[in-house]
Amino acid sequence: MRVLPTCALLLSLSALPGLAQSNTLPTNANDASVDYSALRQRLAEQNKTLTEQVTNQRSVVKKNQELLKEAQKLDASNKKLLEEKKKLEAENTDLEKQRQALKSSQSQVQTAQADSKQ
Give the Cα separation of 89 and 81 in Å (integer).
12
Residue 91: which pLDDT band, with cuts at 50, 70 and 90?
very high
Mean pLDDT of the 33-39 span: 80
Q: Is the pLDDT of residue 5 over 80?
A: no
What is the predicted pLDDT for the residue at 106?
86
pTM here is 0.49
Q: Is the pLDDT of residue 25 over 50?
A: no
Residue 33: which pLDDT band, with cuts at 50, 70 and 90?
low
pLDDT one-digit tens code per residue, 46-73: 999 999 999 999 999 999 999 999 999 9
pLDDT-wise least confident of 17-26, 56-65, 79-88: 17-26
Mean pLDDT for the chain overall: 82
